[in-house]
Amino acid sequence: MTVGGPVLVTGAAGFIGHAVSERLLARGERVIGLDNFTDYYDVALKEARVARLVDNFDFRLVRGDIASPELLAELVAGNGVRRIVHLAAQAGVRYSIENPFAYEHSNLKGHLAVLEAARQAGNVEHLVYASSSSVYGERPLGGSGFREDEPCTAPVSLYAATKRSCELMSKSYATLYGLRMSGLRFFTVYGPWGRPDMAYFGFAQKILLGQPIEVYGEGRMARDFTYIDDIVDGVVGVLDKPPADGEHRLLNIGDCNPVGLMDMIATLERALGRQAVKLMRPMQPGDVTATYADISAIRDLTGYSPKVALEQGIERFVDWYLSEIEQGGRGPMAAVA
């Protein structure tokens, strides 16, 4: 399915970016993938993801910084890009406390560079970008799903604040320049080829090494874990449904089924066939107690319906992880081999 020019996917070496690129290529799209391969986590894993894409004739990899306005303008206008999936960002709540200016550079300046490139090109039909469930701030366990029309005025981390800022910047550009934009609030994405800084990934590594895991919030936390294939369904579904000129919409993209942290650990233990040694720790600065997506809006728009339950998704992750170890390991897996 090829519609106009190539799709620009920023963060194409990332977890979600490489999976979205793979799906677009599989349906006949041409893709330009942009990534700067930062060392926030092992670059070998990013290189391994991209290796799955570069042999496709319809994929072009560009190594560069998202915060370069000149590069973004050339990529969009110079290649006839009509659709953009902007996933590049500095991720991580805790890392934002240690390295705040990395978030100013990638998340704020980088997002502005994408907006400016779309504005200058003048013919971008749809810009889909990554936001985060962290914009909702602290919420208690239980209750109902977070809704997009709720006020998001109390971020508890700089990462969350930059993501909310990107939403507001996008709204202003849609209003000023008639751009069509969709911001996706991702809820705890997991699965094969995932990020080593995520809890489930780090726990698996330590359990296999026989090392204790640190369980923050004393285990009294819950997350709306969403499997990568379901996320890709949602991203591509939204990309295919551009809003009207000048419309900026926000959409939750999650599983709509929060799972307690201790339940996730138990699921991981079953899949690995090993028990974890647990060290209970207090909540860390910037963390939130729970996330819970109301997905009514994206379901009504695209028919989005998550299909992979946590038990199945964790089993798939563990199968992938163990196969990487058997093959000698890449990056973060090498230590377990």
159 is catalytic: yes
Which residues does residue 183 pair with via DSSP β-bridges, in sequence order? 129, 250
Say if residues 200 and 317 touch (Cβ distance below 8 Å): yes
DSSP 8-state secondary structure symbol assigned to residue 2: -
Give the dihedral of Cα atoms 179, 121, 123, 16; nearest 10 deg.
-70
Which residues does residue 23 pair with via DSSP β-bridges, in sequence order? none
Exposure string over 115-149, b if 16+ CB within 10 A, otherwise e: bbbbbebeebbbbbbbbbbbbbbebeeeeebbebe
- Cβ partners under 8 Å of residue 257, min gap 6: 224, 306, 309, 310
CA distance 321 to 304: 28
Of 41, 95, 159, 190, the active-site residue reads: 159
Q: Which residue do the tokens 């600065």 mark?
A: 285
- Cβ partners under 8 Å of residue 243, min gap 6: 126, 180, 181, 182, 249
Q: What are phi and psi of 131, to 5 degrees?
A: -110, -155
CA distance 227 to 230: 5
Which residues does residue 280 pair with via DSSP β-bridges, in sequence order? 215
Alpha helix stretches (DSSP H) within 179-258: 199-209, 228-239
Give the dihedral of Cα atoms 235, 244, 28, 330; nearest 10 deg.
-30
**Catalytic (active-site) positions:** 159
